[in-house]
Structure 1
């Protein structure tokens, strides 16, 4: 399910990272921190590619290296066919970068910010103004063009950040956590803009995100990053379809009983064993939730509920659904995405529910 990573392969004009490694010295004598540990992936030209992982997985470090803001300790990378270490100036001209933090001047208007960005990218004044007007209209900001950015809502300000990133029509656009902090409505609007932009501008887009639903919605291909390396790569459908069967999720009650002489750890182990005994695999117990996969979730559910009742475990609800990217993450890392610090997608539409 991986994309060829040869410089002459389909990612030659997109993005290619091969065995990137980056270590930061520890503070005050603490051990060094490994941010990237042999990370490799390839972004085919003209596609949206998602780097999915929890905070601290190495996504932002990767983007900084690919945009020449940092240097890898070892490994190689090309962007738009250019070597990031040997041709940094050319790489900067070929890319757009939308960082996690705002880059606009809040005391200038949206129009002024865009015109300045265009001029800094080498556009003539008239061309910069025309491009600014085009982008303001495209992102639904034309009515706020002459308002100070400090008066913009969070969603409006984030749209302006993205517009700044593409003012010079880059070959490759890097979006680093573009919807963090946005409310659901603003997130949905940003998703729609990213989809339109990728189609209309015909650029390669590297999206880093810790939202499962965002990667599933926007990315043609996804690489799941964990502890500085890619653990699996493919289309969202390929990754989910690679997990046979159904996902069973059990929400536990606060009054769950049963022997607890060996404390919470032992209780979790016994609960996991109950799920395994009725045929579930890839079982994990995380707080008040237990989950696993079964060949047929609906067939496994009655026996599971009976076994939990016999063990004195209070069940608030149980759901059966097709595998999600969270299940993919669990399969390849051994822990749930939420427990690793990632953000969950909205609850899936269930195929069966029991309580």
Structure 2
């Protein structure tokens, strides 16, 4: 394991009955970085996350998170991490503030209301804090979900396809939140099937295919694997994303936005 690695995975294997999902996965994640695990549906991304977060046992190989062996010291690993799954795990009946206070109390944190207020401010949810989460937009729910996962100051956070089902504007809101996490020193392992998401967020990108990591590097390194592009002068046409944000505005007031 590299001395500056927050996560180290070596020769990880996992099968479900007769189906091999992971057949020897290896990668390291540097502390304070964003690492994107890219792959199609069924590639094994969620299986990797479940093993690293102690929810699933590997058949072979080793995994170390924040200095703790996942198989030998699962309790220490769970104390050091947080996991946000593919769907926001928030209580829609409670307000945003009540969700945060509840988690803070469950994790035996001192000053749960102070923690809730700080996280609401950090994720631009203060004005919506006393509203029921059932009235929140998709992006607001996801930001609240990520805020909840930060209670207890985990050093490593796993985000398993965090923008699945979100509209383009909500995806940008989540991307901003993830960038802020890494900016404050949190190590982020992000799984996604969206190429643009990995390109926007990740310091390093690994592609998981047929049970193995087939490439692992920075975006520049990955682009360098292709032949040099031919220089052609063509008229640049606006992308659909350009059109979308030009029509609706680059940002809306996420604190007052509600689900229609």
TM-score, normalised relative to structure 1: 0.64
Q: Are the aligned partners of 2:87 and 2:162 in contact in 1 as well (CA < 8 Å)?
A: no
RMSD: 2.0
Q: Does 2:136 correspond to 1:142?
A: no
| Residue of structure 1 equivalent to 2:199 | 216
CA distance in 1, matches of 2:152, 2:235: 48
| Residue of structure 2 equivalent to 1:168 | 152
Q: Are the aligned partners of 2:9 and 2:26 in contact in 1 as well (CA < 8 Å)?
A: yes
CA distance in 2, matches of 1:100, 1:73: 24
CA distance in 2, matches of 1:85, 1:95: 15
User: What SS does structure 2 have at the residue aligned with 1:111?
Assistant: helix
CA distance in 2, matches of 1:101, 1:229: 26
CA distance in 1, matches of 2:24, 2:82: 25
Q: Are the aligned partners of 1:78 and 1:84 in contact in 2 as well (CA < 8 Å)?
A: yes
**1:135-181 Cα deviation digits (max 9, x unpaired):** 11111111111111111111111111101111111010101111111
Q: Does 2:217 correspond to 1:234?
A: yes
Q: For 2:177, which of 193, 199, 215 is the aligned residue?
A: 193
The verdict on how the C-alpha distance between 1:319 and 1:82 changes in structure 2, with shifts beyond 3 A counting, is: farther
Q: Give matches, 1:171-182, under 5 Å.
A: 171-182=155-166
| Residue of structure 2 equivalent to 1:23 | 15
CA distance in 2, matches of 1:298, 1:100: 40
User: What SS does structure 2 have at the residue aligned with 1:144?
Assistant: coil
CA distance in 2, matches of 1:78, 1:101: 26
Cα offset, 1:122, TM superposition: 2.0
**1:10-47 Cα deviation digits (max 9, x unpaired):** 21xx111111111002xxxxxx2211110111001111
Cα offset, 1:244, TM superposition: 2.0
Q: Does 2:181 correspond to 1:204?
A: no
User: What SS does structure 1 have at the residue aligned with 2:198?
Assistant: helix
CA radius of gyration, larger in: 1
User: What SS does structure 1 have at the residue aligned with 2:139?
Assistant: helix
Cα offset, 1:242, TM superposition: 2.5
The verdict on how the C-alpha distance between 1:48 and 1:93 changes in structure 2, with shifts beyond 3 A counting, is: same
Cα offset, 1:53, TM superposition: 0.9
| Residue of structure 1 equivalent to 2:258 | none
TM-score, normalised relative to structure 2: 0.87
Q: Give matches, 1:309-320, under 5 Å.
A: none
The verdict on how the C-alpha distance between 1:172 and 1:24 changes in structure 2, with shifts beyond 3 A counting, is: same
| Residue of structure 2 equivalent to 1:93 | 79
| Residue of structure 2 equivalent to 1:225 | 208
Q: Does 2:60 correspond to 1:74?
A: yes
| Residue of structure 2 equivalent to 1:39 | 25
CA distance in 2, matches of 1:138, 1:203: 15
Q: Are the aligned partners of 2:2 and 2:28 in contact in 1 as well (CA < 8 Å)?
A: no
Gaps spanning 5+ residues in structure 2: where?
Answer: 243-260
CA distance in 2, matches of 1:346, 1:72: 40
CA distance in 1, matches of 2:141, 2:179: 18
